[in-house]
Amino acid sequence: MTALISFTSVRAHLVARDEIALLDVREEDPYAQAHPLWAANLPLSRIELDAWRRIPRRDTLIVLYGSHEDVDLAPLAAERLAALGYTRVNLLQGGLEGWRDAGGELFRDVNVPSKSFGEWVEHERRTPSLSAQEVKALIDARADVVVLDARRFDEFQTMSIPTATSVPGAELVLRVRELAPDPATRVIVNCAGRTRSIIGTQSLVNAGIPNPVAALRNGTIGWKLAGQVLDHGASRRAPAPGEANRAAAQANAQDVARRAGVRWIGPDALATLEAAGRTVHRFDVRTPEEYEAGHLPGFASAPGGQLVQETDHHVPVRGARIVLADDDGVRAPMTASWLAQMGWEVYVVEAQPATARSALGAAPADHAAAPSVSGITPARLAHALDASEDIAVIDVTTSATHAKRHIPGAWFAIRAQLGQALDVIPAARRYVLTCGSSLLARFAAADLRALLAARGRDAEVVVLEGGNAAWFAAGLPTETGWRRLATPATDRYRRPYEGTDAPAEAMQAYLDWEFGLVAQLAADGTHHFKVI
């Protein structure tokens, strides 16, 4: 039987900065409605695929909670983690309600540690900002101003401030001098909401950039709420820095990192660090393209701006050590400076020769072996569907991906809710499980077999070989939209700041929520944020 651990004990570990992974095993949408500050989302549906990568040390103290429609998912999650080799798995006593009843603070939305930290930074440092109306007036007047978008490039392309250039967060200090060589040029930093514009602006301030700098207050949300028009499909990117500007940026970034308490580490010391019985997360903070062209072995790709924005996703073990690498001496120190201010123990790898970055391509997958399940080829499935054979196709990919394109007639279902899905999907003699690649479908197929057996139903369960990707590659018919939802599409929380169709009320509510985060942090008392 899995041990129980109380709210008081969990909070004591967080206050003491012990290593602990507090995991919410629900889907992302219910997780986003309410969770403790340091709870990371690891849905039951994906434990076998994500646990080893996100929680590398098997003796990490893990605490689980999460219910769906009065079904406690945490005990099953504990079984799966134990099967994966984790030895210190506990259930949160009383679950989420127990946390609330004990007086624990609950937070909404996703990436809350990072977003609340951004609000803390602005509160402590009075980060300069300008309203959407003020920025538009500067642009309209053709003032000496550059607008830098600190989000990912794909987000920038979806919608952007007119004239803006894409400079993802970790790139700002490295590249700003190329875009604003005149110290009199005003620099505006924006994101979709508040966090990345605050952190980006304060990065430039901390690094001593001589230009006047300000955040676009409330980002593209504020721009839209002001009734102003955004660009779509922009492609402007910052140029590579010249040698003089790179050297200046390096000196600035390393000074900021040292003031934040960041330490530098060599390869030999890194090996010692990893052998010390502590969780160590290693990240290359350059762009994904640079990472794939060559990186240090054992390092995962996590562009610096997104790492600071999504710490709960990349580092779910609070109290873990983080080691960062780059090839310029700017991006890793700047990223590290923010993580250190968030209370993490952070190191930067000392400068390495290019030959040390010998690993190529994407990081290798690290997950449990999928169960052995019989397969069906796309051509055979297409023939069976055309012949109206008694088949039910169940797609366990993400709901957003399913809506974009899926096999005609396929049902969408969340893997952890297949029992609920069986109550909706008409009984069939054969069930075909699919997903993007067939990997998750293989785990889901094993679950489905057990569920059918428990209900006394004799049906064949197979997976689509190669998954949806193989079906699409074969040029077979597809359909779009959420036509057959066997379970609600709660696997992803719809962010009010993404896309172009969020209602104004949702955007304003999101901003109001962000404004209240500083007070929530004070009430929670476990954050350990310290701004330089």
Domains plus CATH for the chain? 3-109 (3.40.250.10), 117-237 (3.40.250.10), 253-354 (3.40.250.10), 375-473 (3.40.250.10)
**Among the listed ranges 109-123, 137-151, 175-189, 510-524, which one has the minimum average pLDDT value?**
510-524
Calpha distance 66→93 (Å, rounded): 11
Q: 268 falls in which pLDDT band (50, 70, 90)? A: confident
At residue 218, the pLDDT reads 93
Residue length of the chain: 532
At residue 414, the pLDDT reads 98
Identify which of 31, 30, 27 has the alpha carbon closest to the alpha carbon of residue 43. 27
Check residue 442 and give left, alpha or beta (phi > 0: left; psi -120 to 50: alpha): alpha
Query: Which residues 6+ apart lie within 8 Å of 39 measured at CB?
Result: 22, 23, 24, 31, 65, 312
Here the tokens at position 342 are: 């968030």
**Among the listed ranges 8-12, 167-171, 272-276, 313-317, which one has the minimum average pLDDT value?**
272-276
Calpha distance 496→505 (Å, rounded): 9
Rg (CA), the chain: 24
At residue 500, the pLDDT reads 65
**Among the listed ranges 127-136, 199-208, 267-276, 316-325, which one has the minimum average pLDDT value?**
267-276
Here the tokens at position 237 are: 């990117």
- What mean pLDDT is predicted for residues 177-190? 97
Q: Cα-Cα-Cα-Cα dihedral of 354, 356, 360, 364, to 10°? A: -150
At residue 499, the pLDDT reads 65
Q: Is the pLDDT of residue 436 over 90?
A: yes
At residue 167, the pLDDT reads 96
Helices and strands in the chain, H and E counts = 24, 22
At residue 201, the pLDDT reads 98
At residue 273, the pLDDT reads 85
Q: Which residue has the higher pLDDT, 65 or 193?
A: 65
Q: Is the pLDDT of residue 275 over 80?
A: no
pTM tops 0.85: yes
Q: Is the pLDDT of residue 207 over 70?
A: yes
Q: For every residue of 398-437, which 3-state class applies, written as one string?
A: CHHHHHHCECCCCEECCHHHHHHHHCCCCCCCEEEEECCC
- What mean pLDDT is predicted for residues 296-306? 95
Helix (H, G, I), strand (E, B) or coil at 123: helix
Query: Which residues 6+ apart lie within 8 Å of 269 measured at CB?
Result: none
Here the tokens at position 497 are: 């700041």
Q: Is the pLDDT of residue 498 over 90?
A: no
Query: At which residue do the structure tokens 């999907």 appear?
Result: 425
Calpha distance 337→335 (Å, rounded): 5
pLDDT cut 90: percent of the chain above it: 91
Here the tokens at position 136 are: 């538009």
For the chain, give the mean pLDDT: 95
Q: 67 falls in which pLDDT band (50, 70, 90)? A: very high
Phi, psi of 29 (to 5 degrees): -65, -50
- What mean pLDDT is predicted for residues 30-39? 97
At residue 531, the pLDDT reads 96
- What mean pLDDT is predicted for residues 123-142? 97
Here the tokens at position 97 are: 């309600």
Q: Is the pLDDT of residue 495 over 90?
A: no
At residue 250, the pLDDT reads 97
Q: What is the per-residue pLDDT across 313-322, written as a single tens digit (0 to 9) for each?
A: 999 999 999 9
Here the tokens at position 455 are: 């209900």
Identify which of 232, 228, 138, 149 has the alpha carbon closest to the alpha carbon of residue 185. 138
- What mean pLDDT is predicted for residues 387-408? 96
**Among the listed ranges 4-8, 201-205, 482-486, 501-505, which one has the minimum average pLDDT value?**
501-505
Degrees to nearest 5, angle at CA 342 with 222 and 88 = 120
Query: Which residues 6+ apart lie within 8 Å of 163 measured at CB?
Result: 139, 146, 147
Q: Is the pLDDT of residue 371 over 80?
A: yes
| Max CA pair span of the chain | 76
What residue spans of 455-531 are helical by DSSP H?
467-473, 504-515, 517-524
Q: Is the pLDDT of residue 503 over 90?
A: no
Contact 285, 331 (CB under 8 A): yes
Query: At which residue do the structure tokens 């054969």 appear?
Result: 430
Strand 213-216 and strand 129-130: the pairing is parallel
Calpha distance 97→78 (Å, rounded): 19
Helix (H, G, I), strand (E, B) or coil at 68: strand
